[in-house]
Amino acid sequence: MKAHVYVTLKRTVLDAQGQTVADALKRMQYQGVEDVRQGKYFLLTLANGMAQNAAQAEVERIAREVLTNPVIEEFTYRLEA
Amino acid sequence: MKAHVYVTLKRTVLDAQGQTVADALKRMQYQGVEDVRQGKYFLLTLANGMAQNAAQAEVERIAREVLTNPVIEEFTYRLEA
């Protein structure tokens, strides 16, 4: 089973990196992009035969305790069989 | 419309950052994670009223030409109305 974890800065936190990408795109004449937010992406490969429930609990725990800084970041995740 | 772009190192490229996270998880006694790959995540906000076709073409172009280093990275993306 695979778990996709997406970690982004909270909406209220200034995303300088994303802003820089957005500015660069504008300068380079790319059309139609109004805003860019940048985050991190983790692809976790889980042990075979792990139950859906157990996997969900473990991935949530890892994302919350290790991959995310709860002061400024939030996460979403998606499991894939 | 929003575009989610995920940029990851190609399978054949050593992902030192992901490996470090995987080792740390093992050391910290988290169960069931066999491998970690780390990548970048971009959330692009597109101009209102952009046609699906145009949005798809533009996002693909931006991902290919700006967000990804084609020598070592690859990307996937997803549009969201």
Q: What is the pLDDT of residues B30-70, one digit of tens each?
A: 989 999 999 999 999 999 889 999 999 999 999 999 999 99
Residue B26 has pLDDT above 90, yes or no: yes
The DSSP result for B36-53, as a single string, is EEEEEEEEEEEPTT--HH
Walk me through the domains of chain B, giving residue ranges and CATH numbers.
2-80 (3.30.1280.10)
Residue of A nearest to B42 (CA): A38
Backbone angles phi, psi at B43, to 5 degrees: -110, 110
pLDDT on residue A49: 87
Instruction: Tell me the helices (H) and strands (E) count for chain B, helix number first.
Output: 2, 3
Residue A15 has pLDDT above 90, yes or no: yes
Q: A18 and B20 in contact (C-beta within 8 Å)? A: no
Residue B81 has pLDDT above 90, yes or no: no
Distance CA(A68)–CA(A70), nearest Å, equals 6
pLDDT, average across residues A11-32: 94
For an interface test with B, the pick among A38, A43, A60, A74 (most B C-beta atoms closer than 10 Å) comes out as A43
pLDDT on residue A59: 96
Q: B4 and B41 in contact (C-beta within 8 Å)? A: yes
Distance CA(A51)–CA(B31), nearest Å, equals 13
Distance CA(A40)–CA(A36), nearest Å, equals 13
ipTM, 2 dp = 0.88
Q: A32 and B45 in contact (C-beta within 8 Å)? A: no
Read off the pLDDT of residues A22-79 as tens digits, 9 standing for 90 and up. 999 999 999 899 999 999 999 999 999 899 999 999 999 999 999 999 999 999 999 9
In terms of residues, how long is chain B?
81
**Chain B partners within 8 Å of A30 (Cβ):** 58, 61-62, 66
**Chain A partners within 8 Å of B34 (Cβ):** 45-47
What is the interface size between A and B, counted as CB pairs within 8 Å? 104
Distance CA(B41)–CA(A34), nearest Å, equals 17
